[in-house]
């Protein structure tokens, strides 16, 4: 992996809080099982939820799921199939807010869990920015490893599209 290719993205932020091994695998273009039911369900929820809003705002190395302008304010949304990974999703959305801020764009974030009919506001504050900076440094450290971190059995492994890769 050449250094010119290395960029921290919102997806890597999301996976860092779930499984650092996945961060390495994704960054090194090792694709998870695309036929995995959870991957398919996630795509379906993202594609068919919130049909009246615009989809995929691309900024830098990030793609935000949905966005709208309400009352002159940009609101970006991250759509997730479950709130189980709420903290990970909050940090991913905060990363997007930071990317926008670095480009002089003020926005507000909303986490959306359509199956649970929940929304949660996310605002980028100083404490979250510090956490993001530490996380980005740790992600870069992981990406430069010559091989992925060792597989560690965690509660998320059961529904992971990399399970066969890690445990066979």
Mean pLDDT score of the chain? 83
Q: How confident is the model at residue 157 (pLDDT cuts 50, 70, 90)?
A: confident
Of 7-16, 57-66, 89-98, which gets the smallest average pLDDT? 57-66
Rg (the chain; Cα; Å): 16
What residue segments make up the domains of the chain, in order of their start?
Answer: 3-167
Report the C-alpha dihedral over residues 78, 83, 86, 90, rounded to 10 degrees: 20
- What CATH number has the domain spanning 3-167? 3.90.320.10
Closest residue by Cα to residue 9 from 71, 64, 66: 64
96 vs 162, which has greater pLDDT? 96
Q: How confident is the model at residue 14 (pLDDT cuts 50, 70, 90)?
A: very high
């Amino acid at each position: 992996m050449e250094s010119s290719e290395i960029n921290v993205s919102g997806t890597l932020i999301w996976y860092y809080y779930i499984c650092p091994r996945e961060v390495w695998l994704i960054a090194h273009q090792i694709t998870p099982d695309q036929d995995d039911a959870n991957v398919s369900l996630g795509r379906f929820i993202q594609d068919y939820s919130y049909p009246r809003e615009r989809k995929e705002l691309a900024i830098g190395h990030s793609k935000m799921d949905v966005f709208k302008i309400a009352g002159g304010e940009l609101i970006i949304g991250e759509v997730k199939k479950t709130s189980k990974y709420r903290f990970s999703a909050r940090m991913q959305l905060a990363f997007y807010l930071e990317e926008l801020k670095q480009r002089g764009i003020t926005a507000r974030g909303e986490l959306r869990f359509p199956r649970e009919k929940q929304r949660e506001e996310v605002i980028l504050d100083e404490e979250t920015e510090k956490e993001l900076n530490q996380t980005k440094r740790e992600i870069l450290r992981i990406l430069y490893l010559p091989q992925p971190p060792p597989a560690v059995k965690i509660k998320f492994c059961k529904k992971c599209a990399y399970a066969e890769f890690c445990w066979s």
